[in-house]
Amino acid sequence: MTANTNSTRTSINNDATSTSAEQRKRTLNATSAARRSGSFDVASLILVAVLLAAGAVLKMTVGSVVNIAGMKPNFIIAMYCLAILLVRPKVGQAAVIGLLAGAVCQVLPGTPYINFISELCGATAMGALILLPMKLGKLDIKAPVATFVSTVISGSVYTVCLFLFAGADASAMVAYVPIVLCTAVINTVIVQALYLPLRKVLKKDAAAPAGAAA
């Protein structure tokens, strides 16, 4: 009788262990599928929020001190580019990140409302660029190239809007070209320096999401 009872308990324990292992496997598979499809989970939303907040703090503190020949890094753009690289959202979701970045910019010094347009364009470009294969031999250059291009797009749109809506002198537009390009270079260095270690720590998949549509 005792032997039968022990055998029954062992069988129940084995079944419970097997069920638990299957549940964990299903959870991991579901999480992996969500990441591949570009879906946002809570962890991704928190990561985006933390990086945008960090960008705002850095822009108010470090950004006011760092000045290279009159040119400064734009930590808001750098942080949403980094967030998009890590989270791998769909293009539409990347656009939402851009709008959130534009909203954050409203509490910082600058021209109101224009950032909604410029960061929307920059983040949307970033979301589209991460879908493209970018390799130089065996070296993956997606992070620096996408960040540089997205920063240039955001800065260019911001500059054009400045002249269109803020009444800036159109003859001075040429002076903004080196500012935009140098900001793009600085942002590229920042993002590249942070992307690889953060991706390793967060164990994010470097593969682009399967769904490109919004």
pLDDT tens-place string over residues 52-106:
999 999 988 887 677 666 677 899 999 999 999 999 999 999 999 999 999 999 9
Q: What is the pLDDT of residues 129-152, one digit of tens each?
A: 999 999 988 898 999 999 999 999
Residue 39: per-residue pLDDT: 58
Residue 63, domain member (yes or no): yes
Name 199's Cβ contacts closer than 8 Å, sequence gap at least 6.
85, 86, 206
One domain for residues 27 and 61: no
- What residues make up the domain containing 49? 42-202
* Per-residue pLDDT at 111 exceeds 80: no
One domain for residues 154 and 69: yes
Residue 210: per-residue pLDDT: 41
One domain for residues 72 and 176: yes
One domain for residues 107 and 192: yes
Name 103's Cβ contacts closer than 8 Å, sequence gap at least 6.
116
One domain for residues 3 and 109: no
Residue 108, domain member (yes or no): yes
What is the CATH number for 135? 1.10.1760.20
Residue 208: per-residue pLDDT: 45
Comparing 39 with 58, the larger pLDDT belongs to: 58
* Per-residue pLDDT at 10 exceeds 70: no
Question: How many independent structural domains does the chain possess?
Answer: 2
Tell me which residue of 155, 153, 141 sits closest to 183, measured CA to CA: 155
One domain for residues 112 and 68: yes
Residue 112, domain member (yes or no): yes
One domain for residues 90 and 172: yes
Q: Which two tokens stand for residue 116?
A: 């909604």
One domain for residues 66 and 129: yes
Predicted TM-score (pTM) of the model is 0.77
One domain for residues 51 and 132: yes
CB 121 within 8 A of CB 151: no
Report the C-alpha gap between 126 and 81 in whole angstroms: 7
* Per-residue pLDDT at 213 exceeds 50: no
Residue 207, domain member (yes or no): no
Total residue length of the chain: 214
φ and ψ at residue 206, rounded to 5 degrees: -80, -10
* Per-residue pLDDT at 42 exceeds 60: yes
Residue 211, domain member (yes or no): no
CB 110 within 8 A of CB 159: no
